[in-house]
A and B are shown apart, each in its own frame.
Chain A
Amino acid sequence: MIVLRNVEKYFEHGPTKTFVLRRINAEIKEGEFVSIMGPSGAGKSTLLHLLGMHDSAWTGEYYLLDHAIHKINKKDRMEIYKKYFGFVFQSYHLLDSLTVYENLDIPLSYRNIKKGERDSIVCDVLDRFQIVGKKDLYPNQLSGGQQQLVAIARAIVATPKIILADEPTGNLHSNQGKEIMELFKKLNEGGTTIIQVTHNERNAEYGNRVINIADGWISD
Chain B
Amino acid sequence: MNAFLQDIRYSARMLAKTPGFTLSALLALTLGIGVNSTMFSVVNAVLLHPLRYRSPERLAILLSESTTKNIQQWPVSDFDFDVWRRENHVFEQVAGLGQQGFNLTLGSEPERVGGVLITANYFDMLRVRPAIGRNFRMDEDQKGRDPVAIISHGLWQRRFNGDRGALGRPLILDGTSYTLIGVMPPDFMRLEDEDVWVPWVVNLDDPVKARGRRGMVVFGRLKDGKTFREAQTEMSQIAGRLSAAYPESNKDLGVRVSSWESMQISDMRTSLIVLWSAVGFVLLIACANVANLLLVKANARRREVAIRLALGAGRFRLIRQLLTESSLLALLGGIIGMLPTLWGVDLIRRSIYDPSGETKYIAVDGAVLGYTLLVSLFTGICFGLLPALTATKTELSEMLKQGSARGSVSSGNRMRSAFVVAEISIALMLLIGAGLVLKSFVKLRAVDPGFNASNVLTLRLSLPANRYGTVDTQGAFYRDLLDRVQALPGVQNAGVTSELPIVGGQDDTAVYFPGKKEESGLANATIIHYSTVSPNYFAAMQIHLVAGRGFNDSDTAKAPPVAVINDKMAREYWPNANPIGKNFKTGDKWWTIAGVVANIHHAGLESKPTPEIYLPYQQFPSPSVHLVVRTMERQGSLVVSIRQAVLSLDRNQPIYEIRTMKAGIEASLNLQQVAAGLCGAFAVVALILATIGIYGVMSYVVSQRTHEIGIRMALGAQQQDVVRMVVGRGAWMIAFGLAIGTLAAAGITWVLTDLLFGISATDPSTYAGLAAFLAAVALVASYVPARRAARVDPVIALREE
What is the interface of chain A, defined by CB distance below 8 A to chain B? 45-46, 49-50, 52, 54-55, 75, 78, 81-82, 87, 89-91, 93-98, 106-107, 109-112, 114-115, 154, 158, 166
Most A Cβ at <10 Å: residue of B13, B17, B307: B307
* Known pairs A55-B396, A97-B13, A97-B17; A81 contacts B403 (CB<8 A): no
Which residue on chain B has the smallest CB distance to residue A106? B311
Contact present for B396 and A54 (CB under 8 Å): yes
Given contacts A91-B403, A97-B13, A111-B312, 17 further A-B contacts (CB under 8 A): A45-B397, A46-B397, A49-B397, A78-B312, A89-B310, A93-B303, A93-B307, A95-B308, A98-B10, A106-B308, A106-B311, A106-B313, A107-B311, A109-B3, A110-B311, A112-B3, A154-B311
Shortest B507–chain A CB gap in Å is 74
Which residue on chain B has the smallest CB distance to residue A90? B403
A54: contacting residue among B308, B310, B317, CB under 8 A: B310
* Known pairs A54-B400, A109-B6; A158 contacts B312 (CB<8 A): yes
What is the interface of chain B, defined by CB distance below 8 A to chain A? 2-3, 6, 10, 13-14, 17, 303-304, 306-314, 317, 396-397, 400-401, 403
Whole-angstrom CA separation of A112 from B2 in the bound complex = 10
Shortest B272–chain A CB gap in Å is 45
Measured between beta carbons, the chain B residues less than 8 angstroms from A106 are 308, 311, 313
Contact present for B13 and A93 (CB under 8 Å): no
Whole-angstrom CA separation of A189 from B311 in the bound complex = 24
Measured between beta carbons, the chain B residues less than 8 angstroms from A54 are 309-310, 396-397, 400
Measured between beta carbons, the chain B residues less than 8 angstroms from A93 are 303, 306-307, 310, 400, 403
Measured between beta carbons, the chain A residues less than 8 angstroms from B396 are 49, 54-55
Most A Cβ at <10 Å: residue of B6, B306, B396, B397: B397
Shortest B18–chain A CB gap in Å is 10
Most A Cβ at <10 Å: residue of B6, B13, B311, B313: B311
Whole-angstrom CA separation of A106 from B307 in the bound complex = 11
Most A Cβ at <10 Å: residue of B14, B309, B401: B401
Shortest A96–chain B CB gap in Å is 8
Which residue on chain B has the smallest CB distance to residue A115? B2
Contact present for A82 and B312 (CB under 8 Å): yes
A95: contacting residue among B307, B314, B400, CB under 8 A: B307
Measured between beta carbons, the chain A residues less than 8 angstroms from B310 are 52, 54, 87, 89, 93
A110: contacting residue among B312, B400, B401, CB under 8 A: B312
Measured between beta carbons, the chain A residues less than 8 angstroms from B303 are 93
Measured between beta carbons, the chain A residues less than 8 angstroms from B311 are 87, 106-107, 110, 154
Measured between beta carbons, the chain B residues less than 8 angstroms from A109 are 3, 6
* Known pairs A49-B401, A54-B400; A110 contacts B13 (CB<8 A): no
Measured between beta carbons, the chain B residues less than 8 angstroms from A82 are 312
Contact present for A114 and B307 (CB under 8 Å): no
Shortest A44–chain B CB gap in Å is 10
Contact present for A114 and B2 (CB under 8 Å): yes
Contact present for A95 and B304 (CB under 8 Å): yes
- A sample of 11 cross-chain residue pairs with beta-carbon separation below 8 angstroms, ordered by A number, consists of A45-B397, A54-B397, A87-B311, A90-B403, A93-B310, A93-B400, A95-B308, A97-B13, A107-B312, A110-B311, A115-B2
Measured between beta carbons, the chain A residues less than 8 angstroms from B306 are 93
Whole-angstrom CA separation of A107 from B310 in the bound complex = 9
Q: Which 3 A-B pairs have the closest CB atoms?
A: A49-B397, A91-B403, A110-B312
Measured between beta carbons, the chain B residues less than 8 angstroms from A115 are 2
Shortest A174–chain B CB gap in Å is 21
Shortest A166–chain B CB gap in Å is 8
Shortest B229–chain A CB gap in Å is 53
Shortest A141–chain B CB gap in Å is 15
Measured between beta carbons, the chain A residues less than 8 angstroms from B400 are 49, 54, 89, 93, 166
Whole-angstrom CA separation of A55 from B310 in the bound complex = 11
Contact present for B314 and A89 (CB under 8 Å): no
* Known pairs A49-B397, A97-B304; A78 contacts B314 (CB<8 A): yes
Measured between beta carbons, the chain B residues less than 8 angstroms from A166 are 400-401
Contact present for B317 and A110 (CB under 8 Å): yes
Measured between beta carbons, the chain B residues less than 8 angstroms from A96 are 304
Measured between beta carbons, the chain B residues less than 8 angstroms from A94 are 307
Measured between beta carbons, the chain A residues less than 8 angstroms from B6 are 109
Which residue on chain B has the smallest CB distance to residue A157? B311
Shortest B302–chain A CB gap in Å is 12
Contact present for A97 and B307 (CB under 8 Å): no
Measured between beta carbons, the chain B residues less than 8 angstroms from A75 are 314
Measured between beta carbons, the chain B residues less than 8 angstroms from A89 are 310, 400, 403
Measured between beta carbons, the chain B residues less than 8 angstroms from A107 are 311-312
Measured between beta carbons, the chain A residues less than 8 angstroms from B317 are 110
Whole-angstrom CA separation of A77 from B14 in the bound complex = 30
Whole-angstrom CA separation of A154 from B403 in the bound complex = 18
Whole-angstrom CA separation of A98 from B14 in the bound complex = 10
Shortest A27–chain B CB gap in Å is 22
Whole-angstrom CA separation of A93 from B310 in the bound complex = 10
Measured between beta carbons, the chain A residues less than 8 angstroms from B308 are 95, 106, 110
Measured between beta carbons, the chain B residues less than 8 angstroms from A46 are 397, 401
Shortest B89–chain A CB gap in Å is 63
Whole-angstrom CA separation of A91 from B310 in the bound complex = 14
Which residue on chain B has the smallest CB distance to residue A94? B307
Whole-angstrom CA separation of A119 from B372 in the bound complex = 38
Which residue on chain B has the smallest CB distance to residue A155? B311
Which residue on chain A has the smallest CB distance to residue B313? A110
Measured between beta carbons, the chain B residues less than 8 angstroms from A154 are 311
Contact present for B14 and A45 (CB under 8 Å): no
Measured between beta carbons, the chain A residues less than 8 angstroms from B14 are 97
Contact present for A55 and B403 (CB under 8 Å): no
Whole-angstrom CA separation of A118 from B311 in the bound complex = 15
Measured between beta carbons, the chain A residues less than 8 angstroms from B307 are 93-95
Whole-angstrom CA separation of A1 from B3 in the bound complex = 33
Whole-angstrom CA separation of A91 from B402 in the bound complex = 9
Whole-angstrom CA separation of A108 from B96 in the bound complex = 72
Shortest A197–chain B CB gap in Å is 10
Whole-angstrom CA separation of A115 from B6 in the bound complex = 10
Shortest B749–chain A CB gap in Å is 47
Shortest B310–chain A CB gap in Å is 5
Shortest A38–chain B CB gap in Å is 15
Shortest A92–chain B CB gap in Å is 9
* Known pairs A49-B397, A115-B2; A97 contacts B10 (CB<8 A): yes
Contact present for B312 and A45 (CB under 8 Å): no
Which residue on chain A has the smallest CB distance to residue B402? A91
Shortest A73–chain B CB gap in Å is 13
Whole-angstrom CA separation of A115 from B14 in the bound complex = 22
Measured between beta carbons, the chain A residues less than 8 angstroms from B403 are 89-91, 93
Shortest B15–chain A CB gap in Å is 11
Shortest A217–chain B CB gap in Å is 19
Shortest B391–chain A CB gap in Å is 14
Whole-angstrom CA separation of A115 from B4 in the bound complex = 12
Shortest B309–chain A CB gap in Å is 8
Whole-angstrom CA separation of A90 from B402 in the bound complex = 10
Whole-angstrom CA separation of A109 from B311 in the bound complex = 10
Measured between beta carbons, the chain B residues less than 8 angstroms from A55 are 396-397
Shortest B395–chain A CB gap in Å is 8
Which residue on chain B has the smallest CB distance to residue A108? B312
Whole-angstrom CA separation of A93 from B306 in the bound complex = 9
Which residue on chain A has the smallest CB distance to residue B9? A102
Measured between beta carbons, the chain B residues less than 8 angstroms from A114 are 2
A81: contacting residue among B2, B3, B17, B312, CB under 8 A: B312
Measured between beta carbons, the chain A residues less than 8 angstroms from B2 are 114-115
Which residue on chain A has the smallest CB distance to residue B304? A95
Most B Cβ at <10 Å: residue of A46, A81, A106: A106
Whole-angstrom CA separation of A128 from B401 in the bound complex = 29
Measured between beta carbons, the chain B residues less than 8 angstroms from A78 are 312, 314
Shortest B2–chain A CB gap in Å is 5
Shortest B12–chain A CB gap in Å is 11
Whole-angstrom CA separation of A160 from B309 in the bound complex = 16
Whole-angstrom CA separation of A75 from B17 in the bound complex = 33
Measured between beta carbons, the chain A residues less than 8 angstroms from B10 are 97-98
Which residue on chain A has the smallest CB distance to residue B307? A93
